[in-house]
Chain A
Amino acid sequence: MTMPDDKFDELLDHVAAGRLDDLTPEQVTSLDTHLNAAASSSERLADVVPEADSRLSVIAPTPTDAEWDGVWQRIDSAAPARESAPRVIGRTIRFWQPLAAAAACLLLLIVWRLSPVQVPPGWEMRLSDHVVVHEIEIFGDDCVFVAYSDNESGSAVIWVFEAEEAREGA
Chain B
Amino acid sequence: MNSVTRLNVDRSELCLVEQAARGERDARRELFERHREAAYRVALRITGRHEDALDVVQDSFIKAFERLGDFQRAAGFKTWLLRIVTNRALDLLRARKVRLAVPLDAGDDEPRFELPACNDAEQPGAELEYRELAERLRQAVESLPPEQRAVFALYALGEMTYGQIAEAVGVPIGTVMSRLYHARRRLHRLLEDLAPSEAKVEDR
Contact = CB atoms under 8 A, between A and B. Distances in A.
Interface in A9-58: 15, 20-21, 23-25, 28-29, 31-37, 39, 42-43, 45-50, 52-53, 55-58
B130 A21 contact: no
Interface stretch (A63-71, A94-102, A109-117, A141-149): A63-71
A33 B159 CA distance: 25
B135 interface: yes
Nearest to A79: B65
A125 interface: no
A32 B175 contact: yes
B-side interface size class: 35 or more
Interface string B31-69: 010001100110011000010001001100110011000
Interface of B, secondary structure class, is helix
Interface residues of A, number: 48
A30 B204 CA distance: 15
Nearest to A61: B50
Contacts of A159: none
A59 B187 CA distance: 15
Interface stretch (B1-9, B10-18, B84-92, B93-101): B1-9
A60 B191 CA distance: 17
A71 B54 contact: yes
B177 A55 contact: no
A82 B25 contact: yes
Given A28-B181, A42-B2, A63-B54, A55 B174 contact: no
The 4 closest A-B pairs by CB, nearest first: A35-B174, A82-B23, A81-B25, A46-B163
